[in-house]
Amino acid sequence: MKEEKGGKRAHDKASAPEVPAGPLHTDQAIVETLKINYMPYAMSVIVSRAIPEIDGLKPSHRKLLYTMYKMGLQKGTKTKSSNVVGQTMRLNPHGDQTIYETMVRLTTGNQSLLHPLVESKGNFGRVYSRDMKYAAARYTEVKLAGMCEALFRDIDKDAVDFTDNFDSTTKEPTLLPSAFPNILVNPNQGIAVGMASSICSFNLKEVCEAIISYIREDAVDWTQLLPAPDFSTGGQIIVSDSDLRRIYATGRGSFKVRSKYRIDKKNNVIEVFEIPYTTTTEAIIDEITKLVKDGKIRDVNDVRDETDLEGLTLTIDYKRTADPEALMQKLFRMTTLQDSFACNFNLLIDGRPMVLGIGGIVDNWLKFRMNCIHRQCAYDIERKGERLHLLSGLAKILLDIDKAIRIIRETKTEAEVLPNLMKAFAIDKLQAEFVADIRLRNLNREYILRQTADIAALEREIADLKDILAHESRVLALISDQLAELGKTYGQPRRTEILHEAHVEEITDDSLIEDFNLKLFLTAHGYLKKVALVSLRSANDHKLKEEDAIIQEIETHNKADLLVFSDHQVVYKLRIHEINDAKASNLGEYLVNLCQMDPDEKAVYMVATDNYEGSMLFAYENGKMARVALNAYATKTNRKKLANAYNGESPLIRMLYLTAEQDLAALSNIDKLLVFNTAELNVKSTRDAQGVQVLKSKKGSIMVSLRTLGEAALSSVDYYRASVPAIGCYLKEEDKEDRQVVLF
């Protein structure tokens, strides 16, 4: 048995493949690997998928539109979208759903384009709705829009190059000979590898008039000719001359677009009926709902989408006490009811991605369009020349029709007919074939005269076409005439209203903060409650942890600043509106976490202020007191933690916030009481000043308490009053009753 096992092992060893000596991996240079594996993919996405070309189309758009053109959908009735999708797959191998999604964006129903290229019937969703889905391709119908006639102008006259489709079974155009600058008229966005494109749309009529002016004058101010972009969803565009000039010059920059709305004060309703092109109604509703839940917006009762067949309507119900205009200003700042459109005019020019300004785009489009016209004219000259050549031969026959008939009749063989005609009338073979193919019924003088009457017209047309080719000014004039005709035929009023930045109220951060009266409560265990006064009216019983108690409460408002002093001589600065709202039934915010205090640190006092007026009074066990201006805690930067907030050499007895001069009572541990006025203490600008002696020490006595006169409830104030520094007077018996030593 052992021998069998040993023999089997020997056999397995012998049959196992030999492992080559040396390393089991090969090193690859990362740069070379990227060139071989990554660069072809990246270039394919850039050149053949994501970046639009000078005709304003991506390859997927062009394949779809050309398929519809070949299907005869320029005129006539609509056909099912599924028919178009199926036919387009001969040019576009990326799948039927992808093709249909491309079609959806081009339709009149979806409203993505300022000038849709596909006329549609059925549900194609809406560009301003995230959740409104388009119907399946088998239910919807499409045809080419009227504008596509200009998009395909002279495409059958060799105006553009054609190339093989993906399987070389048919031809497709590399570009469409668009007679209008579709690259500027319709918006286009795409994300490629390492680059992107985002081109906004402009009004067709304005673009046509601007280019005509540019052709006539050459040096123009584009900001004067094109006042601003125009979007299919309308709204209002906020422009500044500097931003617009930068975008027009470089092709990069951004501008703001905001919604249009109307206010129904009778029903406390705001109706938004146009929104920015970059957002959707559902996104806006979600944003407003979140703001209401977070307590950042308190004036909205309800928000809902009431869009119907008449168009978009976003309804916001606001509270009766709210200011609707102020509310909209807040929503503009905090939601995409006002949004930004980032421009990146990146397009392919002769297969190369280039970021161009308006002038650069127009120059390249004119160059492309002039080339299309040159090619179309050359094609017409060739075809008309061929026709003229044939008619010239026919004209020679006109000199003696009977001779031609006799030659044909007397010729013995068919092969000799053409040579005999060529010899008799001095014409070439093509002319002879044309004459020989004339039917017998057409061998009459009327037919021949009618045919030859076109010779003079053809000669004039050919001469005119050659003149166009010879003079660039005539080509540009032809482009101008076509643009003027298109602007007049398909031009529409501007949809997006223009607002100049200087006329728009600037929305500041402070204006977005909702202001209301509230109370702040500080507990001994370091909890802070922010409770609106409205909420306090309905519930006054505070929820506290066991053995916890409220040590301070102040009334203020939501836009004030809060200073929280700790027992580590540190002050923490907070904005009250950033503190979460609470109710009396909540514990509130734990200041150790909110202010990121040390674990053994404790909050002992708080001050709310708007303008940092007044002063802080610090009373120490050694009888000294320091009065520090509150503006010493104001900083130009947004520092949230200030060290050395007060002096720490002697234990702190109490701190008070003073807004006006007042009388205070200082008590020592030997029952000596001193009444003094705070006016006797000079205000210091140094936060950790030691202060001045107020209550003198006697036989090592220390100060144990500082109270206001209201808290002290003294029987005779003048008895204890003295100028500082002083030891004070012993407490009277009647003032010793119910005496409490209050530290803070």
Bridge partners, residue 498, by sequence = 237
The tens digit of pLDDT for each residue in 162-215 reads: 999 989 999 999 999 999 999 999 999 888 777 889 999 999 999 999 999 999
Q: What percent of the chain has pLDDT over 90?
A: 63
Segments making up each domain of the chain, as ranges: 51-178, 260-336, 363-490, 514-736
Contact 182, 57 (CB under 8 A): yes
- Kindly state the tokens that stand for 80: 């099912």
- Closest by CA position to 339, among listed 282, 261, 284, 270: 284
Diameter of the chain by CA atoms? Answer: 160
Whether 47 shows a pLDDT value over 80: the answer reads: no
pLDDT, mean of residues 517-535: 90
Q: Which residue has the tokens 């150790």?
A: 592
CA distances in angstroms from 693 to 620, 664, 721, listed in the order given: 10, 15, 16
Kindly write down the DSSP assignment for every residue of 544-576, as one continuous string: --TT--EEEEEEEETTSEEEEEETTS-EEEEEG
Structure tokens at 61: 């758009």
pLDDT band, very low/low/confident/very high, at 402 (cuts 50, 70, 90): confident
- How confident is the model over 132-146, as a mean pLDDT? 95
Classify residue 107 by its DSSP letter: B
> pLDDT digits over 638-680, tens only?
778 899 999 999 999 999 999 999 999 999 999 999 999 999 9
Give the CA distances from residue 111 to residues 128, 152, 234, 359, 451, in Å, rounded to whole numbers and listed in that order.
8, 22, 11, 28, 50
Quick one: pLDDT at residue 22?
Answer: 54
50 touches 198 (CB < 8 A): no
Confidence category of residue 14, pLDDT binned at 50, 70, 90: very low
Split at pLDDT 50, 70, 90, the class of 7 is: very low
Residue pLDDT, tens place only, 609-640: 999 999 999 999 999 999 999 999 988 777 78
24 pLDDT more than 70: no
* Range in 31-35, 92-96, 370-374 the model is least confident about: 31-35
Sign of the torsion angle spanned by Cα atoms 144, 149, 152, 154: positive
Query: What is the domain class of 260-336 according to CATH?
Result: alpha beta
Q: Which residue has the higher pLDDT, 664 or 586?
A: 664
Question: Residue 699 — very low, low, confident or very high, per pLDDT cuts 50/70/90?
Answer: confident
Torsion angles phi and psi, residue 128, rounded to 5: -90, 10
> Of 7-11, 663-667, 734-738, which has the strongest mean pLDDT?
663-667
Helix (H, G, I), strand (E, B) or coil at 641: strand
Residue 139 among the catalytic residues: yes
Q: Which residue out of 134, 139, 612, 646 is catalytically annotated?
A: 139
51-178: which CATH number, 3.40.228.10, 3.40.50.1950, 1.10.260.40, 3.90.199.10?
Answer: 3.90.199.10
Cβ atoms within 10 A of the Cβ of 115, count?
19
pLDDT score, position 26? 66
Tens-digit pLDDT profile for residues 228-269: 999 999 999 998 889 999 999 999 999 999 999 999 999 999
The pLDDT of residue 476: 95
Look over the chain and give the mean of its residue pLDDT values, rounded to a whole number: 88
**pLDDT tens profile 75-119:** 889 999 999 999 999 998 888 999 999 999 999 999 999 999 999
Question: In the prediction, which pLDDT does 9 show?
Answer: 46
Topology of domain 514-736 in CATH is Neuraminidase (2.120.10)
Q: What CA–CA distance (Å, rounded) separates 693 from 698? A: 13
Which pTM was predicted?
0.76
**Cα–Cα–Cα angle for 130, 131, 137, nearest 5°?**
100
In which band, very low, low, confident or very high, does the pLDDT at 68 lie, cut at 50, 70 and 90?
A: very high
HSE-CB at 256 with a 13 A cutoff on CA atoms is 18
Query: Predicted confidence band at 472 (pLDDT cuts at 50, 70, 90)?
Result: very high
pLDDT at 539: 65
Give residue 183's pLDDT: 95
Q: Does pLDDT of 295 surpass 70?
A: yes
- According to CATH, the topology of domain 363-490 is Topoisomerase; domain 3 (1.10.268)
Judge if the upstream peptide bond of residue 493 is cis by omega within 30 degrees of 0: no
